Structure 1
């Protein structure tokens, strides 16, 4: 109970544990009842499994806590077997590198404890991180799974290749540059490019904002007409609408796939397949690897985004 109060405080009220035998074994899972609702659980000496749903997430998930093998050779085989057969993702650890220490003068540090999550879970909770908590007198550090969104301010402009193939894009760029030059002949090239960038961003936002929503709407519309066709004949106009909807749907699929392909920076693609989910996960993993969660400034670790941005700006 002391460990439960120290780690979870008054926030992590949900708890299930398997007690240690002497100094070996022992498992503990804690959760915030306001964010995660447990429907059922399973408990043994080496496994804890809890089933439930996160707040505002439709899909049910299962969280499994496993006490792995203790010998070095079995540890590697065990971890490789889990990640290789299940395609689970090992998230970067925030707040430290290792989770276990032998508590001796000549210390040995190892990363034993970790969360492995599925691609579906990462898609539903893209801001989730695993964070190292203080070890206290134990030889293990507790590890927390948190939804950690950080507001770094406006996102930088990204140019997506699919825009080059869109009708009206070339005319937009030409007219924008001509207009900017005519309004102020003294404008430099940098000012003209910034103005054109703003025009491109506004144009693409108006035309393609909510691609996923548009895809869902078109799929629903096509499904309604196809269900109607199962019971009665469709008019030529209705068939034409279905053909047009399918054409638009395919176009949106390709745009969505192109966006995530470019974000993922993956160099291969199987022609003709929709690999959007694969590229989505690649992009999420890449963002996590490149994310700056904290910065050491004058010997002090700083995690406040405003202070980090100010320091980086002053440095350069």
Structure 2
């Protein structure tokens, strides 16, 4: 983490009543880019320095974090506090975990190739008469239980197939295998290939998810920009009827009521 009074700004909008130095701003932006650090978005005020007459204002105070630091403290926020005698507003960085409910449920494409998956979803959805949210929650738990059992069966089946192929290979080496066993070995090899193909498809999807979240050494700057944009767009609070609310449940309810009115039928 780097923080302090930098005595420089990134663009002209961060100064008021002051001369803007384009060369200084370019050098400062280059320094930020080359350092690989991500700036924490500031909530509360636009400027952090104000002269006594409030005729000149600038955004001089900043806090930067590394990408690894943001991975650890993904919910860190930066706020301005009230100033008294200083011409700088104090900054407060704190980790404020906002719980907006359950995380998204990961769905693997390989499940669609399983013959019993469609039947599981159809039967579970039709037998449950509860509200939509509770039905989804119950379906999620059923899919998780199905997936655990499926992986257990697949691993056991894979072990059995490998052992049987090994036995047939020993017969091939001893030249005592018959035609029926040769056909059996071909069928077992195809079954093993199908299991491996399904496993590879899941691993490929997992790797893509991991790349979307973490990136790699060739996309470090790209993902740093994404993390900065995501941090800036995070909703920490909204104003409702003149009152500032930060409770996630109240924020979700306010958004629901707003769009409910927008889409209400006349």
TM-score range, shorter chain: 0.5 to 0.7
1:115 corresponds to 2:63: yes
Q: Kindly report which structure 2 residues correspond to 1:273-284, keeping only aligned pairs within 5 A, or say none.
A: 284=227
Pick closer, same or farther for the CA change 1:121–1:250 going to 2, 3 Å: farther
Higher helix proportion = 2
1:202 corresponds to 2:141: no
Q: Pick from 241, 257, 260 the counterpart of residue 298 of structure 1.
A: 241
1:313 corresponds to 2:249: no
Aligned to 1:143: 91
Aligned to 1:259: 209
Pick closer, same or farther for the CA change 1:92–1:256 going to 2, 3 Å: farther
Q: Pick from 165, 178, 201 the counterpart of residue 122 of structure 2.
A: 178
The answer for unaligned runs of 5 or more in structure 1 is 1-61, 208-246
**Which structure's CA Rg is the greater one?**
2
CA shift at 1:175, angstroms? 1.6
Q: TM-score, normalised by structure 2?
A: 0.57
Tell me, what secondary structure is at the counterpart of 2:32?
Answer: helix
Render the CA deviation track for 1:75-111: whole Å, top value 9, x for unaligned.
Answer: 4134212212112111211223221223436x44432
Tell me, what secondary structure is at the counterpart of 1:122?
Answer: helix
Q: Kindly report which structure 2 residues correspond to 1:10-159, keeping only aligned pairs within 5 A, or say none.
A: 63=2, 65=4, 67-68=6-7, 72-73=20-21, 75-104=24-53, 107-155=55-103, 157-159=104-106
Pick closer, same or farther for the CA change 1:183–1:120 going to 2, 3 Å: closer
Render the CA deviation track for 1:122-145: whole Å, top value 9, x for unaligned.
Answer: 122222222211123432211122
Pick closer, same or farther for the CA change 1:118–1:274 going to 2, 3 Å: closer
CA shift at 1:294, angstroms? 1.0
Tell me, what secondary structure is at the counterpart of 2:61?
Answer: coil
Contact 1:257 1:276 in 2 (8 A): no
Pick closer, same or farther for the CA change 1:173–1:301 going to 2, 3 Å: same
Q: TM-score, normalised by structure 1?
A: 0.49
Count of residues in correspondence between the two structures: 201
Higher strand proportion = 1
CA distance in 2, matches of 1:100, 1:134: 12
Contact 1:125 1:147 in 2 (8 A): yes
The answer for unaligned runs of 5 or more in structure 2 is 10-18, 150-196, 261-266
Contact 1:257 1:274 in 2 (8 A): no
CA distance in 2, matches of 1:101, 1:133: 14
Tell me, what secondary structure is at the counterpart of 2:79?
Answer: strand
CA distance in 1, matches of 2:52, 2:60: 15
Pick closer, same or farther for the CA change 1:98–1:202 going to 2, 3 Å: farther
CA distance in 1, matches of 2:125, 2:97: 41
Tell me, what secondary structure is at the counterpart of 1:146?
Answer: strand
